Chains A and B, each alone.
Chain A
Amino acid sequence: MSVKEASGIEFSDKLMTFIEEWKSKKGNLVMILHKIQEEFDYIPRQAAIKTAVLLDIPLAKIYGVMTFYNFFKLEKPGKHNIQVCTGTACYLKGGVDLIEELEILLGIGVNTVTDDGIFSIESVRCIGCCGLAPVLLIDGEVFGKLTKDQLPEIVAKFKDK
């Protein structure tokens, strides 16, 4: 792998410090990938290449790890990623109906992004707010005890944010 490829992306100082700090620790890869995703909202290919160089490990190993875990994203999500919970309690209370309604509202499917890059839909497993089922999360804000009718208003609220 050439240095040029590895330099296709800029890491913040904070991220570089973190990588330096963890570089010598055993089993650091998952923790470093978390930090990268925190910075970019997903793990860009260029970032994975750069990490391979920095840690001196094969890119294939990074690819293997990041595709194993649900949490890591390989594609850039929308500016507002709508995470709909499909844990058991939310499933029973209509979490899937929320997804279907969002698909109609936004004209996209799960794990895809609207053309303007503003919204994406993701199905997540249990965010631990089962008492408020069904729930969805947008930018960390939780909306609970939802019905389909409330979705247009919620989407509108984030559209111009």
Chain B
Amino acid sequence: MAIKTRMDLKKIRADQEAGLVLDNKEEKNIQIIVGKGTCGIAAGAEKIFNTIIEEIEDQKIKNIIVKSAGCMGLCYVEPTIKLIVTGESETIYGNVDQETVRKIIERHVIYGRQVESHIFEKPAADILKEENDDNFDYRQYRIVLRNCGVIDPEKIDEYIVRDGYAALEKVIFQMTPSEVIDEIKASGLRGRGGAGFPTWMKWSFSKSVKSDKKYIICNADEGDPGAYMDRSTLEGDPHSVLEAMAIAGYAIGADEGIIYIRAEYPLAIKKLEIAIAQAREYGLFGRNILGSSFNFDFEIRLGAGAFVCGEETALIKSIEGDRGMPTPKPPFPAIEGLWGKPTIINNVETLANIPVIINKGSSWFAKLGTQKSRGTKVFALTGNINNSGLIEVPMGTTLREIVFDIGGGIPNGKAFKAVQTGGPSGGVLTEDFLDTPIDFDSLVAVGSMMGSGGMIVMDEDDCMVDIAKFYLEFCVEESCGKCAPCRIGTKKIYELLDKISKGKGELSDLQKIKEMGNAMTKASLCGLGQTAPNPVLSVIKAFEEEILEHITDQKCRAGKCKDLVTYTIDKENCIGCTVCARKCPVNCIEGERKVVHKIDQSLCIKCGACFEVCKFDAVIVS
């Protein structure tokens, strides 16, 4: 049916709610939700879904609903499924294979006994449960991810039941555009894309410009390597972003929304297309939304793999079909953006907060977080950490809580070394900052930045020179080449780091890096160039000693810089089993059976294969 009026929307909500409640209370008291985000599917969620269906058919179980949803956040134990029995708490099972499905059906579904060995508490167990929605003591608090892993993103009714499109209805009928902007201002929401610019301010700039056409763009070109918050949000709850864009459109007087999304995210694109089509069919987008005079519709535009397109002016160029190269600001896009018209560009996560702020009120939202950074932040917790996954925590949570409580610490008993935030624009945070409450300003104060939310954990085996080199190499490739400081600066700093990693660095190189870095920060045209030196500058600040070892002692303590490592064979431990010699890809290990082997250093490519295969600790790395 079409939703032509507010009453129609209300009716859908009531009907569905009644339907679901009935399902749950009487006939169908068990729900199984399968997490089918990209990582879930990669780990085999589709097969698991089918197995569940087959099993309950075979066993003729009638009181169960099986459905698909987005990511639940437990990336390290995908595929994951959630089992909800009416009146009981939810159980999340991880590392589910077909055998586990059978066990879960047999024990949990039929006899109500959990399959303990597949229950994974972190990072899901401490997520706020809805019924306690005013209890702020939980370690994780899901606002942005509120529907991810809960609703089926391909069914608009499920979104509507959970207050979906209620915020859009509220702004159209109960608020003026200025009141909407005031509400966002009172909430203290700042842009989650990286820099933390106040969202309301951007909106009010655009609102104040008189123009026949304005645009709302959602930046879903998540280019930071090691971050996938936006992808998961779009895959699990596309409507919340669409609803927010329409609200933004109402606030500034725009009637067109453009979603600029990475072509590398096919599943998220598909979910968005389905969501837009369903909402259009319902009449929630298009002309005269809910019988009002407000019009709003969408178009999807694909990115094509250019990190610089995260920069607003470059993103606009890309939508205009050109090379995505930034232009000088001012004019700012909010005043003069796409096709010269006022354009608001908000990031996915920023937008996903908006319906909740409108529904629950700015004062509710502002209770979460710190004085200057309100609300929550979603992080993709990855790298050398036990429970890697997607987490959402209130601003002001400390790194220690994230890494050691939620993340479960470092695997294999290794020592924590650093956390990298902000990707190629951010920096490293060492042990000294484990107790710093994380928000936009505190991270900048310690030489990093919030960035979009990638949080990469490093342990003692990671070399900081290597990490700095990795990010610089990324920026060399991604620099668009328009301005000299970035084009030349990234390349020159990379070359110096490469030299240091090969043991050929000089002490004066550090000074050169610092000078060039500072020049790039001051003189580059856009954010990419201005922040590209951050990773290396923060490494120099926090790990100077380690870099100096590379320069003066030609030593890499982590053993990652291949040119500084030699592999030798210990005469005492080698039993002459020939395993290493057979594994060596360049045949540089000599020695017959039961004779101590020897590595020919002139041929060795330092791949470490011999070290990995030796069971007798006879290969020594030095």
Contact = CB atoms under 8 A, between A and B. Distances in A.
Contact of A144 (B43, B224, B225, B423): B43
Nearest to A70: B305
B264 A131 contact: no
B228 A65 contact: no
Nearest to B480: A68
Contacts of B388: 89, 130-131, 133
Interface string A22-33: 000011111101
Contact of A130 (B75, B307, B320, B321): B75
A92 B383 CA distance: 6
Interface string A98-121: 001000100000000000000000
A91 interface: yes
Contacts of A34: 263, 302, 304
Nearest to B77: A131
Contacts of A87: 225-226
A98 B74 CA distance: 25
B39 interface: yes
B365 to A, nearest CB: 28
Contacts of A91: 225, 470
B345 to A, nearest CB: 15
Interface in A128-151: 128-133, 135, 142, 144
Contact of B382 (A69, A127, A133): A133
B306 A69 contact: yes
Contacts of B595: none
A46 interface: no
Nearest to B317: A27
A130 B454 CA distance: 10
Interface string A55-95: 00000000011001111100000000000001111011100
B324 to A, nearest CB: 7
Nearest to A100: B607
Given A88-B456, A128-B231, A65 B42 contact: no
B200 interface: no
B38 interface: yes
A159 interface: no
A93 to B, nearest CB: 8
Contacts, number: 133
B600 to A, nearest CB: 18
A124 interface: yes
A130 to B, nearest CB: 4
B585 interface: yes
Nearest to B612: A148
Given A68-B306, A88-B470, A92-B383, A129 B225 contact: no
Contacts of B339: 26
B585 A128 contact: no
Interface in B241-265: 263-265
Contacts of A27: 301, 319-322
B321 A26 contact: yes
Interface core residue of B226, B303, B339, B388 (most chain A CB under 10 Å) = B226
B524 interface: no
B70 to A, nearest CB: 13
Nearest to B423: A88
A99 to B, nearest CB: 12
B302 A126 contact: no
Nearest to A137: B42
Contact of B305 (A89, A93, A125, A131): A125
Nearest to B339: A26
Contacts of B232: 128
A135 B42 contact: yes
Interface string B209-229: 000000000000011111110
B346 interface: no
Contacts of A69: 303-306, 324
Contacts of A127: 38, 264
A126 B321 contact: no
A72 B305 CA distance: 8
B305 A88 contact: no
Given A88-B420, A131-B388, A126 B304 contact: no
A125 B306 CA distance: 10
A130 B380 contact: yes
Interface string B52-94: 0000000000000000000000111010000000000000000
A130 B42 CA distance: 11
A88 B383 contact: yes
B304 A71 contact: yes
B383 A131 contact: no
Contacts of A86: 225
A130 B304 contact: no
Contacts of B480: 68
Interface of A: 26-31, 33-34, 64-65, 68-72, 86-89, 91-93, 97, 100, 104, 124-133, 135, 142, 144
6 contacts: A30-B318, A34-B263, A125-B307, A127-B264, A128-B39, A131-B389
The 7 closest A-B pairs by CB, nearest first: A131-B75, A142-B42, A88-B226, A87-B225, A69-B304, A70-B305, A128-B228
Interface of B: 38-39, 41-43, 74-76, 78, 222-228, 231-232, 263-265, 301-307, 318-325, 339, 380, 382-384, 388-389, 420, 423, 454, 456, 458, 462, 470, 474, 480, 585, 607
